[in-house]
Structure 1
Amino acid sequence: MQDIRKALYVGTRSDGRLIQRPMSPHLQIYRYRLSMVLSISNRLTGVAATGGAALGVFWLAAAAKGPKAFATARKVTGNPAGQLLLVGWLASVVYHTVGGIRHLIWDSGKRYDKEELNKDGPVAVGVTAGVSTVLAAGLLGVAAKRARALAKAGKAS
């Protein structure tokens, strides 16, 4: 008796002849490489960036709704957990952008050799870490300076 799975892997060539398609190996067979992890990460950061954008829309809606709703939104984004979430969103947007630029380069036919892919992976991680750190530090610095100015203005009045 034949294995029923063989029937599922039948295809046709462009000339109409029947062929047997290969069964793909499971993920446990593949050796994890940086390029594989980066590819999966690029997809996950796309989902995270979209989710963060939806949260951004809610934040803007709270600002449009009025001072009470906006104060609640500021409490959420102002506490350490909210700020950590915002930094994670920022890092995911930056990484997804860097990954998108890499894909555009590949689509142009450049940097697609195995050696170049392996060299570009750590560069993408480094650029993401550097840009994310600079942006997060700048934004958190501005937020801290603004909070000090508001506290100083509150004491003066």
Structure 2
Amino acid sequence: MAHSDAKAARPLSPHLTIFRPLITMVMSIVHRITGAALYFGMLLLAWWLVALASGPEAFGTVDRFLGSWFGMLILFGFTWALVHHMLGGLRHLVWDTGAGFTRAARNGLAWATIIGSVLLTLLIWIVAFIAR
């Protein structure tokens, strides 16, 4: 049996403090966070639907909350999370086809996900306010 006090000559596990964050690392983490945010955002949708079915008073309460600056901020964040998660899913779909694995393609898809999610979210909200 090997001596238990002998130090093993093996590398330590890499940690975020050792590596410089890569854009693909950040996108992986953000994709998971937006997935969790969408889970909780569905509670807002359920609240809205239950209030809609419950009558004008219940719906008015939800409408006042979601129409407030705080509610709009939450809805804006939910919209961004939805768009970002969708674009991240499309990025993974591209990878599932076997394409986009070069360093330039990976980074390009990651940046396209970030920029596209922000621009699409702004576009959705601008169109919504114009249509309102």
For 2:15 and 2:82, locate their aligned partners in 1 and report how far apart those are by CA, in whole Å.
30
How far is the alpha carbon of 1:48 from its aligned partner?
Answer: 0.8
Tell me the amino acid that sits aligned with residue 114 of structure 1: R
For 1:43-82, what aligned pairs fall within 5 Å after superposition? Answer: 43-82=32-71
For 2:88 and 2:11, locate their aligned partners in 1 and report how far apart those are by CA, in whole Å.
30
Larger Rg: 1
Tell me the amino acid that sits aligned with residue 2 of structure 1: A
For 1:122 and 1:128, locate their aligned partners in 2 and report how far apart those are by CA, in whole Å.
10
2:2 is aligned with 1:2: no
2:118 is aligned with 1:129: yes
For 2:44 and 2:68, locate their aligned partners in 1 and report how far apart those are by CA, in whole Å.
16
Query: Which among 4, 24, 30 is matched to residue 35 of structure 1?
Result: 24
2:66 is aligned with 1:103: no
Change (3 A) 1:35 1:100: same
Please list the CA deviations of residues 17-61 of structure 1 after superposition, one character each: whole Å capped at 9, or x if unmatched: xxxx96531121111111111111111011111111121111110
Percent identical among aligned pairs is: 34
Q: TM-score, normalised by structure 2?
A: 0.88
For 1:139 and 1:128, locate their aligned partners in 2 and report how far apart those are by CA, in whole Å.
16
For 1:131 and 1:96, locate their aligned partners in 2 and report how far apart those are by CA, in whole Å.
12
Farther-moved stretch of structure 1 (32-41 vs 93-102) = 32-41
2:103 is aligned with 1:114: yes
RMSD: 1.8
For 1:66 and 1:100, locate their aligned partners in 2 and report how far apart those are by CA, in whole Å.
37
For 1:58 and 1:82, locate their aligned partners in 2 and report how far apart those are by CA, in whole Å.
13
Please list the CA deviations of residues 79-138 of structure 1 after superposition, one character each: whole Å capped at 9, or x if unmatched: 111011101100000000000000011111110112211122222212111111111112
For 1:26 and 1:126, locate their aligned partners in 2 and report how far apart those are by CA, in whole Å.
27
- Kindly report structure 1 stretches of 4+ aligned residues shifted beyond 3 Å: none
Residue segments in structure 2 that go unaligned for 5+ positions in a row: none
